[in-house]
Chains A and B, each alone.
Chain A
């Protein structure tokens, strides 16, 4: 089985191609503000490196977010069009699910900055989900964690993260092997996971709520 993986939910491009559970090509690179410029040309190189054509792929795994709104849409547009046009199986996983794949005896807490004191995060204990993916105030998350009275470990790809953490460095093969059998969805219905309404929607909702 040939699987293509892509995650553009941050400023990094994480992508790989696995053939029968063996990683034949991959990239992990921070493109900063140029992610939209380079993602597809880098993917083209990835296929060259693997000596494969997009046509050869059996399944696409795309990270749907949460994270950078623009970033998410780069990988999602690619994956959606790829799956729809060449009639490929496609499934989505969240960025937090991918980040949670860390071997640790502690609670694993993938965390992504969502600005203004908020984060996207979840809490995992081995294979168990203690707190599902959510948009939450960092203070509230820490209070929640302290209440659990267990040691915990943040996973982040943010530089200068103040709390004890490990830097996210995805094991792409492990992600593919974990999720390649996840049921496929209709490419038309593949949608980003924003976990947050836009500001305009929030305001409108508040107005309706006040009335």
Chain B
């Protein structure tokens, strides 16, 4: 069979990224331009600033990606783009770019769901084995997904309020660490002790999550400590908080794994880079004899390699869009 080269495009939040992946598994080149330094001064991603940065960066990033790969646009088989969910203005730049290239070079245009992309970041580590349960954890998502074959997704449950990554960022603000709070809390948790008591959220039999109560509990706790004139132990609070997050994530996920009699687990999304969460799942999976894959740290956060990998299977499945493809800020994974 002829090799298939997919050009992936990702611009759904604050990363402009292009990648070329061969046959869904072999990464040829990936370039990610992160805007994190810009958004840091605002304490979070500012959508209009993100959109402006995308259009400024776009040709530099794609050129570097093609140069690194030594491949021309003519040699690309198809163009895959993350068209949602995400920030509409950010997505727009990637989608317009993909449509333009599809038009100029007469290439098939493949719309890819951003979360499907995150799941396929694992395909670049090890070929996915089905059936599987995917736990998607990021700044915008907390979902449990069941897959019995490529590019087939069934959502079992999701967060009812805040996403887990969002909760990390907010707790980060309470503790007084810079945005994004997740990586810092993860580090602090490694040296802290679970000395603060926090409630386990949505402790039921569903596959859904809830993080707003946990966030409020942390805020209240910090407030109470302050009123009592006691200094907050950042490390201990980070550890106490992360332990509760891990408990709710592992409990719901293992519940789904057992119910669906699945032998494969994958983690996906930016929070899948969290050491504490990875270690907990690794330990549990080894104990329960479940095969697991975690995304590489560099491709846990937004990148185009995952979009290109996922795009390959969408392409094989015949999911081709025409030039009226439009970005969508909210989009169900189907």
Contacts and interface: CB of A to CB of B under 8 A. Distances in A.
Interface of A: 34, 36-41, 43-44, 54, 69-70, 73-74, 76-78, 80-82, 84-86, 187-188, 191-192, 194, 198-201, 204
A189 B101 CA distance: 19
B46 A81 contact: no
Nearest to A38: B324
Contact of A78 (B59, B89, B100, B327): B100
Given A40-B103, A44-B103, A85-B101, A199 B59 contact: no
Contacts of A200: 42, 46, 48-49
Contacts of B324: 37-38, 41
B58 A70 contact: no
10 contacts: A37-B324, A40-B99, A69-B89, A73-B51, A73-B93, A77-B58, A77-B93, A84-B63, A200-B46, A200-B49
A77 B105 CA distance: 16
A6 B55 CA distance: 17
Contacts of B323: 40-41, 44
Contacts, number: 89
Secondary structure dominating the interface of B: helix
Interface of B: 41-42, 46, 48-49, 51-52, 55-56, 58-60, 62-63, 73, 89, 92-93, 95-97, 99-101, 103-105, 322-327
B18 to A, nearest CB: 12
Contacts of B325: 37
B89 A36 contact: no
B46 A198 contact: yes
A154 B260 CA distance: 67
Contacts of B51: 69-70, 73
B59 A84 contact: yes
Contacts of B89: 69-70, 73
